[in-house]
A and B are shown apart, each in its own frame.
Chain A
Amino acid sequence: MGMLDNKVAVITGAGSGMGKVASIRFAREGAKIVVADVSGAEEETVGEIRDLGGDAVAAHVDVTQEADIKSMIDVALSNFGRLDVLYNNAGILGEASIAECSAELFDQVVAVNLKGVFLGVKYGIPAMLETGGGSIINTSSIAGFQGIPGTVAYCAAKAGVILVTKTAALEYATQNIRVNAICPGAVWTGMTIRIYGDTEMGQKEASAAQPTGRVAKPEEIASVALFLASDASSYVTGTAIPVDGAWTAGIALPVYDE
């Protein structure tokens, strides 16, 4: 018996990283998956899910495009007849300090990370209401809580995701739609690897800054998303959950490092 038996889930940014791993985990727990991505890698994730005996369909989606989001929701309804879980996960980093961040880059990061979430929520909710409700999970970041030099647009967009989450949660609280945000810390995915380099040294460097002395595997984010997607979290809504190995818990003093 899976935690998501008989549920239908749409996951954006599901061609790679956290979205891909979550797609596979959700499918293992019994959900039928719409694998959405703009990269073209969505077919590959679908293939892996089918190899496991799961049910999935690909959707080529640019989350900044309203028409794409609408058709993504339609893919869920036309293929699987309902929508129970929407995981708005697609995001880009767009590293640039304030002085170096062009207005175009700012717009692009906000369009993918923030407007993409808004559009997902906007078009996902009516579909969920048709079948009595559902659970929406938005990918924010610890960058939604604290500033990180060199990622101004990313931080602004991720903070915005938290408040879109809370607002949507309040608007639909009595209609059995829950909306929560996951705020990951350092996860060893393509985005992080691009910063530190795909080497043992890169991973070591990324790990050194962490209170736990390591970075997370995408599976460790997917398991939190699974909890939020499932009925086990039925009283959890409007929250922004740090999943960060204590990154935002406080100031890690080296005195206790062993």
Chain B
Amino acid sequence: MGKLDGKVALVTGATSGIGEVTARLFAAEGATVVVSGRNVERGSTIADDIARQGGTAMFVKADVCKTEDVQAMVRATVDTYGGLHVLFNNAGISGDTAPTTECTEENWDAVVDTSLKGTFLGMKYGIPAMLKTGGGSIINNSSNSGVVGFPGLPAYSAAKGGIVILTKTTALECAKQGIRVNVICAGTVVTPMVRQFMASNEGMQQYLESRTPMGRLGTPEEFAQLALFLASDDSAWCTGASHILDGGMLAV
């Protein structure tokens, strides 16, 4: 018996990293999964993989910055699988590493559009579908940088901070309607995006490890386990809350 038996889950940014691992775990726990992202080849492969392992999944191409893409993604989910119970707004980019004075407007817009506006659009169009399904659980992906400042990533930090308060606001709006909204604030999780960030900034990996009390970085699997908990009925009384996953970094 899986923790998500009978549920339909939509995961954005699911073509790699945290989104991919979470989509696979949700499927292994019984959910029907919509794998969403921009990379058609990767997304289709992941959906096929899940199906080959006995799960049910399909890929839907979507850019979360675009209203029509998000609308179509939700519509495809409901049309194909009959409802929406779990929405994981995961898509995000970290953008360029540069201090506020060097952060270009283009970088700002790209980062905020994907992470913050993408999360807003996901909820804006996901919630009506969930209400028709009888309620559900939304999980947003913020970051430690949404709780404390992160020098060199002004757009990322601002977008992630925005996601925390957006989560709380939407949670309160939906509290009586059977929709729970939570946000995960992870420390450093070793994904392709983070690997690239560490590779392009010398000494960054050692620095991040040294700043993590556990002395190691997190894995996408550990992230996926928290997302699974929030997606499942085990978290029925959790809503409007930030869930820290950081090996103790913010306890300092």
Contacts and interface: CB of A to CB of B under 8 A. Distances in A.
Interface of A: 165-166, 169-170, 173-174, 184-185, 187, 210-213, 216, 220-221, 223-224, 226-227, 232-239, 241-246, 248-253, 256-258
B247 A237 contact: yes
Contacts of A166: 251-252
A21 B235 CA distance: 15
Contact of B250 (A165, A238, A243): A238
B172 A173 contact: no
Interface in B205-223: 213-215, 218-219, 222-223
Interface of B: 168-169, 171-173, 175-177, 187, 213-215, 218-219, 222-223, 225-226, 228-229, 233-241, 243-248, 250-252
B236 A223 contact: yes
B214 A173 contact: yes
Contacts of A165: 251
A235 B168 contact: no
Contact of A249 (B177, B229, B234, B239): B239
Which of A173, A174, A243, A244 gathers the greatest number of chain B CB atoms within 10 Å?
A: A173
A223 B235 contact: yes
**Closest 9 CB pairs between A and B?**
A238-B251, A249-B240, A246-B240, A173-B213, A220-B237, A223-B234, A211-B175, A166-B251, A249-B168
A173 B168 CA distance: 29
Contact of B237 (A173, A221, A236, A256): A221
A237 B214 contact: yes
Contacts of A245: 175, 237, 239-240
Contacts of A246: 168, 171-172, 175, 239-241
B136 to A, nearest CB: 14
Contacts of B214: 173-174, 235, 237
Contacts of B251: 165-166, 169-170, 237-239
A21 B65 CA distance: 44
A112 to B, nearest CB: 24
Contact of B172 (A169, A243, A250): A250
Contact of A173 (B176, B236, B247): B247
B19 to A, nearest CB: 17
Contacts of A169: 213, 248, 251
A220 B175 CA distance: 16
Contact of A239 (B235, B238, B244): B244
A235 B175 contact: no
A232 B213 contact: no
A245 B239 CA distance: 5
Contacts of A220: 236-237
A1 to B, nearest CB: 10
B241 A244 contact: yes
A243 B237 contact: yes
Contacts of A170: 213, 248, 251-252
Contacts of B222: 234-235
Given A211-B175, A213-B175, A249 B241 contact: yes
Contacts of A250: 168-169, 172, 240
A223 B230 CA distance: 11
B175 A212 contact: yes
Nearest to B213: A173
A257 to B, nearest CB: 6
B127 to A, nearest CB: 12
B66 to A, nearest CB: 28
A170 B246 CA distance: 12
Given A170-B251, A246-B171, A236 B245 contact: yes
Contacts of A213: 175-176
Contacts of A233: 225-226, 229
A234 to B, nearest CB: 6
A180 B68 CA distance: 42
Contacts of A221: 237
B244 to A, nearest CB: 4
A241 B243 contact: yes
Given A227-B235, A235-B214, 12 more contacts: A173-B247, A187-B237, A212-B239, A221-B237, A232-B229, A242-B238, A245-B237, A245-B239, A246-B240, A249-B171, A251-B172, A253-B172
A242 B246 CA distance: 16
Contacts of A252: 172, 175
